Chains A and B, each alone.
Chain A
Amino acid sequence: DTGVSQNPRHKITKRGQNVTFRCDPISEHNRLYWYRQTLGQGPEFLTYFQNEAQLEKSRLLSDRFSAERPKGSFSTLEIQRTEQGDSAMYLCASLNRALSGANVLTFGAGSRLTVL
């Protein structure tokens, strides 16, 4: 178990292109979260999954954003028709609340998106 893995670590794209980020959580963790972080700000919640079910989406998650966790294991976050305002660090975190009894999230290193 090497923790939460995110790929790619860095992505530079042109405005209007689609990008996809992947997150591999800790294997026994049933909850998976996506956050977005812009420079100088704390991470902002985007969405979360309990196993394969997406249980909540933030207002920040516009219709250009879609997240999936098809088999309750890895997750993908896709951004369609990227805009310069999408430039940010996208963070994934996982949790097994049954084990910890509290919100002790393990975060990945993040995927940094730059939209030109």
Chain B
Amino acid sequence: DAKTTQPTSMDCAEGRAANLPCNHSTISGNEYVYWYRQIHSQGPQYIIHGLKNNETNEMASLIITEDRKSSTLILPHATLRDTAVYYCIANNDYKLSFGAGTTVTVRA
């Protein structure tokens, strides 16, 4: 897996967009960018993944820079239930390697 760098923590206001950055400057051409999150005392939950193009699903949007060296996960309207640890992974292996992630706290 390519090394990823994420902020340790961030706060956001309920109802506002949450923009979570991830740096993966050593990513190779065939490595996907994955985002998972883990709510307290639960297993990690898949959010979204992408290779080159921006992606959107019912949970979030993923914006990948043209050089693929960084990406941003966007939660369009954060709710209190989005409080979790968010993991960014750059990978094309049969297993995923999780770092420490970003602890996101959504405040009312």
Contacts and interface: CB of A to CB of B under 8 A. Distances in A.
Contacts of A55: 94
7 contacts: A33-B95, A42-B85, A45-B95, A91-B43, A102-B32, A105-B44, A107-B44
B95 A48 contact: yes
A57 to B, nearest CB: 11
A55 B95 CA distance: 11
Contacts of A43: 44, 98
B43 A110 contact: yes
B100 A42 contact: yes
A105 to B, nearest CB: 6
B42 A103 contact: no
Q: Which of A4, A103, A104, A108 has the most B CB atoms < 10 Å from its CB? A: A103
Interface string A68-109: 000000000000000000000001010001000011111111
Interface of B: 32, 34, 36, 41-46, 49, 85, 87, 91, 93-101
A4 B49 CA distance: 20
A44 interface: yes
Contacts of A40: 100
Nearest to B91: A103
Contacts of B96: 45, 103, 105
Contact of B100 (A41, A56, A103): A41
B42 A109 contact: yes
B100 to A, nearest CB: 6
A67 to B, nearest CB: 14
Given A45-B97, A103-B49, 4 more contacts: A44-B98, A48-B94, A105-B36, A110-B42
A42 B87 contact: yes
A21 B100 CA distance: 25
A39 B43 CA distance: 13
A107 B32 contact: no
Nearest to B50: A102
Contact of B49 (A35, A48, A93, A104): A104
